[in-house]
Every structure is written in C-alpha cells, then in structure tokens.
Amino acid sequence: MDARQAWSLINDAELLHGETEIELALDRLAARIGDALADRFPVALCVMGGAVVFSGKLLPRLGFPLEFDYLHASRYRDGTRGGEIAWNVLPRKDLRGRVVLLMDDILDEGHTLAAARARLLELGAAEVWIAVLADKEIGRAKPVHADFVGLTLPDRYVFGMGMDAYGLWRNLPAIYALKEK
C-alpha cells in the first residue's frame, strides 16, 4: 500500500469516536482501575503493538504504584483477519503471585486476550485483570471478558488509537471504521 492508498482509507472511513470522547473514556477507565487495583501493586502489561497508544495514555492517569512490562502476541500480522497466535515476546518481570493488569486496544473475538490471560496465569500470576480501550459487539459469546472497558464499538473493522488497518493509522487520536462495501 502506498501513501495515496493510505490517505484513501482515512478519507473514506467513518469516525466512530473522536479524540475528546476517547479522553473522557480514559479518565473513567483510570478511575475504575484505581478503585479496584490501587492498593494491589500490579504489574501493568501492554499488549504490543496495538495497545501501545492506549497504554501510553492510560498509565499517566493511574495514580498508584505499579510495575510496567509488555508482551507481544499477534493474530493479525497487518491484515484484517486473525490467524494463529504468535508469541513474539513474553513479559520479563517475574509474575509469580502478582496481580496483573493486562492492557489491550480492543476486545474483538477475544482469542488473543484469552490466550494471553491463560499464559500469564501459567507464568504464575495470581490474578489477571483486563482493561481494553474498546469492546467490539460481535453478536456472539467471547472466550474472555474485559474487567475495564472504555468504549463499545460496532462489529466493523476499526482503526486508530493503536488499532491498525493494513498496518496503518495506529497513530490516529480517534477511532474510525473502514468503509463498508
């Protein structure tokens, strides 16, 4: 894809949630997470690469001590359909007996987050709490639920705020949906 095609994606997309709405959702999420985890000294884990924007905006809002690390698991590999989970990087922190706050950009079908939660528990985490910027309404049961959800999205392919379309536009401060065909 070239720059012209990338611009075409955004120009044809539908804005679902603007920057101000997202910032307010992040404030609400941080308050709920603080209520639940402020006295637990969690390890906050970012799911790379999608959650890097979400985590970067959420972490400064969490006014309590925590440790930070990341994991990298992927199913999409710059496409729009998920495949097998690839474990690129596991956390370096010792998770044995620890409370973990797992942060991801979106709870879509839930396969990646369910596998990540299971892997973290295998690594000895005492509890895994999941925070997502967005939960997509897909119309069927998911293998995992998020404990903290910022926004709800329709069942469309979305991008922005860390989520990508064909590997592009993770850097947008808003959330868009690809044009329906």
**In the numeric block, which tokens belong to residue 105?**
């950009």
Give every CB contact of residue 76 below 8 A, 6+ residues apart in sequence.
Answer: 82, 83, 164
Is 26 part of a structural domain of the chain?
yes
Position 1 scores a pLDDT of 81
Tell me the CATH number at 25.
3.40.50.2020
Q: What's 133-150 look like in SS3? A: EEEECCCCCCCCCCCEEE
Q: What is the pLDDT of residues 32-85, one digit of tens each?
A: 999 999 999 999 999 988 899 999 999 999 999 999 999 998 765 555 555 678
The total domain count for the chain is: 1
Q: What is the pLDDT of residues 74-125, one digit of tens each?
A: 765 555 555 678 888 999 999 999 999 999 999 999 998 999 999 999 999 9
Position 83 scores a pLDDT of 64
Distance, in Å, from the CA atom of 156 to the CA atom of 54, rounded to the nearest integer, reads 19
Distance, in Å, from the CA atom of 137 to the CA atom of 107, rounded to the nearest integer, reads 9
Distance, in Å, from the CA atom of 43 to the CA atom of 28, rounded to the nearest integer, reads 20
HSE, side-chain direction, 13 A CA sphere, residue 85: 18
Say if residue 159's pLDDT is above 70.
yes
Confidence of residue 28 (pLDDT cuts 50, 70, 90): very high
pTM of the model: 0.92
Is 111 part of a structural domain of the chain?
yes
Is 90 part of a structural domain of the chain?
yes
Is 25 part of a structural domain of the chain?
yes
Angle at alpha carbon of residue 163, lines to 136 and 67, rounded to 5°? 95
Position 137 scores a pLDDT of 96
What SS3 class is residue 175?
strand
Burial of 156 (0-12, 13-18, 19+ CB in 10 A): middle
What does the longest C-alpha to C-alpha distance in the chain come to?
50
Is 2 part of a structural domain of the chain?
no
Is 112 part of a structural domain of the chain?
yes
Which residue numbers are catalytic? Answer: 108
Domain boundaries, position 104 = 17-73+85-150
Is 91 part of a structural domain of the chain?
yes
Is 10 part of a structural domain of the chain?
no
**Residue 167: DSSP 8-state:** T
